[in-house]
Amino acid sequence: AKQNPEQAEFKQAVEEVLGSLRPVIERDEEKYRKQAILERLTTPDRQILFRVAWVDDAGQTQVNNAYRVQFNNAIGPYKGGLRLHPSVDLSIIKFLGFEQIFKNALTGLPIGGGKGGCDFDPKGKSDREIMAFCQSFMTELAKYIGADMDVPAGDIGTGAREIGYLFGQYKRLKGVYEGVLTGKGLEYGGSLVRTEATGYGLLYLVDELLKDHAQSLRGKTVTVSGAGNVAIYAIKKAQELGAKVVTCSDSTGWVYDPAGIDVALLQEVKEVKRARLTEYVAKRASSKYYEGHGVWSVKTDIALPCATQNELHLADAKQLVENGVLAVAEGANMPTTLEATKYLQEHGVLFVPGKAANAGGVAVSALEMSQNSERLSWTFEQTDEKLKEIMQKIYQNIKQAAKEYGFEDDFVLGANIAGFKKVAAAMEAQGIY
Ligand code: NDP
């Protein structure tokens, strides 16, 4: 608490995890207390704060605040994305880095937890401005990362274009060609399926969850928030698996399309034109645009929050339950508030937290690291099949972990416990540090 006086998001993430670890800690209290395992787990190995100065198209020098938090490398090199959004601060980066430790452990792959970002807003910037920012950002960041040390990736505001400029600058500075970033373009070391991985992975996990409860996605109504990388591919895979997705949203408003979202049109508006959702509605007669927050008011079987943290509140949870929602799975990181999560779970909704449900992105990032190390590229089918297996295994592991402690179908507890046990065992084996 001394170190984090105002860090609301970080405290929220820690509270959620520590709350569910109680049964595990109680079984082995003396050992964990003696080793200060929770103190060490909640204190990052390293927090790097730095200035990024760059020149805009008007010749004006701009200054932004950047962060890289290297949280825990007990099971592998630090791994986690770089967020570019005006809201970025140390609390947000620490919450994301902390969550990443458990998520990465759940993938079953050798990756530790970290996260970074900057309060730079890529919206409305020219390509040259983005490049100038990325080059300046990497000039400092390059001192702390490396293919076997810390491997950043994309996140909100950091897509293929930004990763390209960041990679170019790293290569220029270090003179080495190594897999220091994931989410790279296919021409220079990127992996097939990485773009689709988080959204597809989310649906593979939901598919497994429903099968396990004698249900299926076929014929189900699904609501999705967001219209970015995660949301687009979640919508696409949900529709491929036979569901109808009727909403999407961005930071200004949301779309209701009872005929089912037209993914190709959404991709054109968001990925190609980088435009507002009003452009989608202008070209799609069956759809309607609403200002502000509202996706969760639509009647649905399955809700998939895929935009950002704290976007599904208690009032939304009540509305979803009243409308008979069956499952909620988080595509974004911590989109559901603690009160909303509790309400959904208490009302029998199958709830899967982001650290399990959206782990497909980082899983394929780790597969990108493997491909870079062996200097090979796998086919789409091979990689997609691996992603599917990983998501199915994650579901089975979190289910099993919850069951072992007597909390059947509490996937929040299951995910935290399964992730924690692996990391804690590695920390114990490596001695006190
Ligand atoms: P994108 O930048 O591609 O898309 C984010 C979407 O959410 C956009 O539609 C954006 O709207 C909306 N959004 C962003 N911030 C806000 C806000 N403050 N209020 C309302 N809407 C907002 O990001 P991603 O799709 O990559 O990431 C979405 C979430 O998924 C994040 O929580 C991220 O950490 C998480 N995640 C992403 C992974 C990935 O592989 N990309 C992996 C695992 C988790 P607008 O277009 O108006 O900005």
Using the predicted structure, report yes or no on whether residue 1 has a pLDDT greater than 60. no
Using the predicted structure, report yes or no on whether residue 18 has a pLDDT greater than 60. yes
In percent, how much of the chain has pLDDT > 90?
A: 98
Q: Closest by alpha carbon to 422, among 1, 50, 21?
A: 21
Measured between alpha carbons, how far is 144 from 24 in angstroms, rounded to an integer?
A: 34
Measured between alpha carbons, how far is 47 from 71 in angstroms, rounded to an integer?
A: 8
pLDDT value at residue 6:
86
**Atom 22 (ligand 1) nearest CA:** 251
* In the chain, domain spans: 8-181, 196-352
CATH of 196-352, one of 2.60.40.1930, 2.60.40.180, 3.90.79.10, 3.40.50.720: 3.40.50.720
Ligand 1 mean position to 276 CA, how many Å? 14
Q: What is the DSSP string of 131-145?
A: HHHHHHHHHHHTTT-
The ligand 1 atom at the shortest distance from the C-alpha of residue 359 is 43
Q: Which of 230, 266, 280, 304 to mutate to test the pocket of ligand 1 (most atoms within 8 A of CB)?
A: 230
Measured between alpha carbons, how far is 132 from 134 in angstroms, rounded to an integer?
A: 6
Ligand 1 mean position to 228 CA, how many Å? 6
pLDDT value at residue 5:
64
Tell me how crowded residue 337 is: count the other CB atoms within 10 A of its CB. Answer: 18
pLDDT value at residue 61:
98
pLDDT value at residue 240:
98
**Atom 42 (ligand 1) nearest CA:** 361
Look up tokens 């989608």; give the residue: 280
The ligand 1 atom at the shortest distance from the C-alpha of residue 335 is 32
Tell me the per-residue pLDDT of 21-30, one tens digit each, with 9 for 90 and over.
999 999 999 9
Q: Which amino acid is at 155?
A: D
Question: In the chain, helix, strand, coil percent, each to 5?
Answer: 50, 15, 35
Using the predicted structure, report yes or no on whether residue 3 has a pLDDT greater than 90. no
Ligand 1 mean position to 39 CA, how many Å? 30
Pocket of ligand 1 (CB under 6 A): 87, 154-157, 198, 226-231, 250-252, 306-308, 331-333, 358, 361
Assign domain 8-181 to its CATH superfamily: Leucine Dehydrogenase, chain A, domain 1 (3.40.50.10860)
The ligand 1 atom at the shortest distance from the C-alpha of residue 226 is 9
Instruction: Tell me which residues are annotated as active site.
Output: 115
**What pLDDT band is residue 235 in, cutting at 50, 70 and 90?**
very high
Ligand 1 mean position to 66 CA, how many Å? 18
pLDDT value at residue 129:
98
**What pLDDT band is residue 4 in, cutting at 50, 70 and 90?**
low
Q: Which of 95, 99, 251 to mutate to test the pocket of ligand 1 (most atoms within 8 A of CB)?
A: 251
Tell me how crowded residue 301 is: count the other CB atoms within 10 A of its CB. Answer: 19
- The strand pairing partners of 50, in sequence order, are 66
365 marked as part of a ligand binding site: yes
Q: Are 281 and 255 in contact (CB under 8 A)?
A: yes
Tell me the per-residue pLDDT of 126-184, one tens digit each, with 9 for 90 and over.
999 999 999 999 999 999 999 999 999 999 999 999 999 999 999 999 999 999 999 99
Q: Closest by alpha carbon to 236, among 213, 212, 217, 209?
A: 217
- 280-285 own/partner pairs: CB under 8 Å, 24+ apart: 280/248, 280/255, 281/255, 284/257
**Atom 35 (ligand 1) nearest CA:** 332
Tell me the per-residue pLDDT of 313-363, one tens digit each, with 9 for 90 and over.
999 999 999 999 999 999 999 999 999 999 999 999 999 999 999 999 999
Q: Which of 195, 196, 200, 250 to mutate to test the pocket of ligand 1 (most atoms within 8 A of CB)?
A: 250
Query: In Å, how far from its chain's centre is CA 195?
Result: 13
Q: Are 107 and 366 in contact (CB under 8 A)?
A: yes
b vs e for 347-379, b when ≥16 Cβ sit within 10 Å of the residue's Cβ? eebbbbbbbbbbbbbbbbbbbbbebbeeeeebe
The ligand 1 atom at the shortest distance from the C-alpha of residue 250 is 11
Tell me the per-residue pLDDT of 252-295, one tens digit each, with 9 for 90 and over.
999 999 999 999 999 999 999 999 999 999 999 999 999 999 99
8-181 and 196-352 agree in CATH topology: yes
Ligand 1 mean position to 120 CA, how many Å? 15
- Write down the ipTM of this complex: 0.97
The ligand 1 atom at the shortest distance from the C-alpha of residue 249 is 9
pLDDT value at residue 40:
97
**Atom 7 (ligand 1) nearest CA:** 307
2 marked as part of a ligand binding site: no
Cα–Cα distances (Å) from 21 to 104, 128, 197, 415, 418, in that order, read 17, 47, 29, 10, 10
Ligand 1 mean position to 86 CA, how many Å? 13
Measured between alpha carbons, how far is 112 from 74 in angstroms, rounded to an integer?
A: 6
3-state secondary structure of 27: helix
Structure token pair of residue 22? 């109680």
The chain-wide mean pLDDT, for the chain, equals 97
